[in-house]
Amino acid sequence: MKMSTVVRSTTKMVSPFLVTYAAYLMLYGHLSPGGGFQGGVILAVAVILLITSHGYQKVRKRFHFNWASLMESSAGAMLVILGLVGLAFGAFYSNFLPIEGGVILPFNVIVGLEVGAAFTFVFYILLRWVESD
């Protein structure tokens, strides 16, 4: 189903702000309400909005299925590596970074990428299943 021009134009204008807000939530989640999960969900919503308004075929050319899968799996691996590096400093996810928030900042960013990619990946899989019917 093709959406109207108003919906498509509005989605194109709103999506960059959603991505920016998602990045803000991921980067400042250790200082304010928010965090990686919330930022990741908003990041996925930006992509899902584009898919629903412009169609799966058109958006899939820019946001490839394999990229979502690769980002999701590599973010999971980075979470494990972050925990193991902390183990070298005394405990799993030990706070070893001398920055404000310590290990929470990279943890939030990685969780945001993981959640955003996972939701996008699930949405792609659901769309493939719908297309096959």
Ranges 16-25, 72-81, 90-99: which has the least confidence: 90-99
Q: Is the pLDDT of residue 99 over 70?
A: yes
DSSP per residue, the chain: -PPPHHHHHHHHHHHHHHHHHHHHHHHSTTTSS--HHHHHHHHHHHHHHHHHHH-HHHHHHHS-HHHHHHHHHHHHHHHHHHHHHHHHTTSTT-----STTTTHHHHHHHHHHHHHHHHHHHHHHHHHHHHH-
Digit-coded pLDDT (tens) for 1-19:
678 899 999 999 999 999 9
The tens digit of pLDDT for each residue in 29-75 reads: 888 888 899 999 999 999 899 888 888 777 777 778 788 889 989 99
pLDDT score recorded for residue 133? 61
pTM of the model: 0.85
| pLDDT given for residue 119 in this prediction | 93
